[in-house]
């Protein structure tokens, strides 16, 4: 729970904000509009899977702003897919970015330990499939799956 949500709930408890007002704020709060991107800050609460940044078509500057907004909303681990090497180098100047060049995936924060909710097998048909297979495996690990 981020500080803003906690403060809102405390305001309801103290009687400063009505339940209906708080409900309306919480209903619209999950989305943060940056103008060029709309971030779903409550995705993990609703679905169990956190928001992921699709890097293709985004400038490094846009990704920097998205990352900052996600961190401000309380997301501790961030995954960026389809991330080109030059963009990863720029992001790494500001954040401790783990980057896999083969999969074109970057992550900020610690990848969670497997949750025990099953296992994912990633199979590839040949060497040209390796980048996509690596992307699938890393994405599954990011979401708490054990990968074979």
Residues 27 and 46 in one domain: no
- Give this prediction's pTM: 0.79
- pLDDT per residue as tens digits for the range 93-131: 999 999 999 999 999 998 888 887 779 999 999 999 999
Residues 39 and 63 in one domain: yes
Please give the residue range of the domain that contains residue 130.
34-147
Q: Where is mean pLDDT largest: 13-17, 20-24, 88-92, 140-144?
A: 88-92
Residues 137 and 90 in one domain: yes
Count of structural domains within the chain: 2
Residues 86 and 130 in one domain: yes
Residues 59 and 22 in one domain: no
- pLDDT per residue as tens digits for the range 24-67: 877 777 788 899 999 998 888 777 788 999 999 999 999 999 99
Which 3-state string (H, E, C) describes the chain? Answer: CCHHHHHHHHHHHCCCCCHHHHHHHHHHCCEEECCCCEEECCHHHHHCCCCCEECCCCCHHHHHHHHHHHHHCCCCCEEEECCCHHHHHHHHHHCCEEEECCCCEEEECCCCCCCCCCEECCCCCCHHHHHHHHHHHHHHHHCCCEEC
Residues 99 and 136 in one domain: yes
């Amino acid at each position: 729970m981020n500080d803003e949500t906690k403060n809102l709930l405390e305001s309801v408890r103290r009687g400063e904000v009505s339940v209906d007002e708080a409900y309306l704020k919480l209903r619209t709060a999950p989305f943060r509009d940056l103008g060029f991107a709309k971030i779903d800050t409550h995705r993990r609460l609703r679905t169990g899977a956190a928001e992921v940044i699709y890097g293709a078509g985004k400038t490094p500057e846009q990704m920097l702003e998205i990352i900052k907004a996600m961190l401000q909303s309380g997301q501790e681990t961030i995954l960026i897919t389809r991330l080109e090497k030059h963009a990863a180098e720029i992001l790494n100047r500001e954040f401790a970015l783990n980057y896999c060049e083969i999969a074109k995936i970057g992550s900020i924060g610690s990848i969670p330990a497997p949750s025990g909710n099953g296992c994912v097998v990633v199979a590839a048909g040949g060497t040209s499939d390796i980048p996509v297979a690596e992307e699938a495996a890393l994405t599954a690990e990011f979401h708490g799956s054990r990968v074979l």
